[in-house]
């Protein structure tokens, strides 16, 4: 199979996440062997600055970044995800969502079906994010040895969980014997979304978390369709929870926490094209209902005319879990994966429209500080101010 020539794209810096808008990138996959045999033509072109994608002759869309088919896994990670891991270590929640039709490269991009023998160049977002997280923690731990004002991180405060949503039931992929009926979505005292019944795994090293990723991936639900022999039939969410304590001789201590959702959505699809019948057809209906609910949330949050109105997070378990990620306390990036083949023109157009709406969503990310430790530090500061005054007053009285 010959590889088409693509315009050289400028190497852009990482996507900035300083403001609150959801960031959206597009990643195009090349024609696969079957599409070449079927004489499919490419119907997607790209701007050299890496910001614009053109579908067909005149359907133009602008995003935060557009990756052409020759873009390496490392480049996608550097531009889209590396800043989010840095933010997460600093105490911000973060989310990466891969969206697109069946067979568009979502799972490859995310690395949520990681092969232990994959080469470095094939590693997806998940294993790279896990590695960067532990490198950052080790770096902060090293710095803390020389400056007591820096974070002193204990790896026992890093946990992870891995769930899938299949036919509107939540399955704990790290504890597959847990009944789905025992898992529920709730809000804690701070209003954060939690999965009651899902067990977090304490992970102390990069290798520990990679084992969790590989174990959970092995239990994920897949199935064969006309569009993809190994199609993901569920939405998969891998979450890293990080809690850090700062030990300061002058200002007491502070606890910050963050969660990082890495989401590999099931493929959007039309039943006629996938040849889905029986259980596969039921799966397709449920998948599309979940993605429709997600689209409704994106529309409600992204349309300025609808801001302030009801957001239908409760329409599906997917949108409920991602409530913090869309319109809430999180720095979020959506990666829309598209096919370049003309036979997939309509699916690609729908994906680009879907992703374009997400760019208008405004989140409200904040550093997650433990309220008790903040209050305790404030009281300590007040004592520091008042104690000298009491000493002076006592001296004057003498």
User: Which residues belong to the annotated binding site for ATP?
Assistant: 100-107
Q: What is the DSSP letter of 393?
A: H
Binding positions: 100-107
SS3 241: strand
Collapsing DSSP to helix, strand or coil, 320 comes out as: helix
For the chain, what's the residue count?
398
Percent helix, strand and coil across the chain, each rounded to 5?
40, 25, 35
**Alpha-carbon distance values, 101 to 10, 29, 45, 121, 299 (Å):** 27, 12, 18, 24, 19
* CA R_g for the chain: 23
Tokens of 360: 């208008």
Please report, for residues 383, 388, 394, the alpha-carbon distance to residue 397 in angstroms, rounded to integers and kept in the order given.
21, 14, 5
357-372 as b/e: b if 16+ CB within 10 A: bbbbbebebeebeeee
With 0-12 / 13-18 / 19 or more C-beta atoms within 10 angstroms meaning exposed / middle / buried, residue 388 is: exposed
């Amino acid at each position: 199979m010959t590889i088409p020539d693509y315009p050289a794209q400028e190497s852009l810096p990482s996507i900035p996440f300083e403001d609150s808008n959801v960031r959206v990138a597009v990643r195009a996959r090349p024609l696969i062997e079957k599409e070449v045999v079927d004489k499919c033509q490419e119907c997607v072109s790209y701007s050299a600055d890496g910001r614009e994608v053109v579908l067909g002759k005149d359907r133009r869309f602008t995003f935060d970044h557009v990756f052409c088919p020759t873009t390496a896994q490392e480049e996608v990670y550097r531009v889209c995800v590396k800043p989010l891991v840095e933010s997460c270590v600093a105490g911000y929640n973060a989310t990466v969502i891969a969206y697109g039709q069946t067979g568009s490269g979502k799972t490859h991009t995310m690395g949520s079906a990681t092969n232990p023998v994959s080469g470095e160049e094939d590693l997806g977002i998940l294993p790279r994010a896990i590695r960067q997280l532990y490198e950052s923690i080790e770096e902060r731990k090293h710095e803390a040895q020389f400056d007591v004002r820096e974070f002193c991180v204990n790896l026992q405060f890093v946990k992870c969980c891995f769930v899938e949503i299949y036919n509107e039931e939540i399955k704990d992929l790290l504890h597959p014997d847990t009944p789905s009926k025992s898992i529920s979505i709730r809000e804690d005292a701070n209003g954060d979304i939690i999965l009651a019944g899902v067990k977090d795994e304490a992970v102390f090293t990069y290798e520990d978390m990679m084992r969790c990723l590989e174990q959970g991936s092995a239990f994920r639900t897949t199935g064969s369709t006309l569009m993809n022999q190994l199609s993901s039939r569920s939405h998969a969410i891998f979450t890293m929870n990080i809690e850090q304590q700062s030990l300061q001789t002058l200002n007491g201590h502070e606890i910050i926490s963050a969660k990082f959702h890495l989401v590999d959505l099931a493929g959007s699809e039309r039943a006629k094209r996938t040849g889905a019948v029986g259980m596969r057809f039921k799966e397709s209906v449920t998948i599309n209902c979940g993605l429709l609910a997600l689209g409704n949330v994106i529309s409600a949050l992204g349309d300025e005319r609808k801001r302030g109105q009801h957001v239908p997070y409760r329409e599906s378990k997917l949108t409920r879990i991602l409530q913090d990620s869309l319109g809430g306390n999180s720095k979020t990036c959506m990666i829309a994966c598209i096919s370049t083949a003309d036979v997939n023109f309509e699916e690609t157009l729908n994906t680009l429209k879907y992703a374009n709406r997400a760019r208008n969503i405004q989140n409200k990310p904040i550093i997650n500080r433990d309220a008790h430790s903040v209050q305790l530090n404030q009281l300590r500061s007040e004592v520091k101010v008042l104690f000298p005054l009491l000493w002076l007053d006592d001296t004057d009285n003498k």
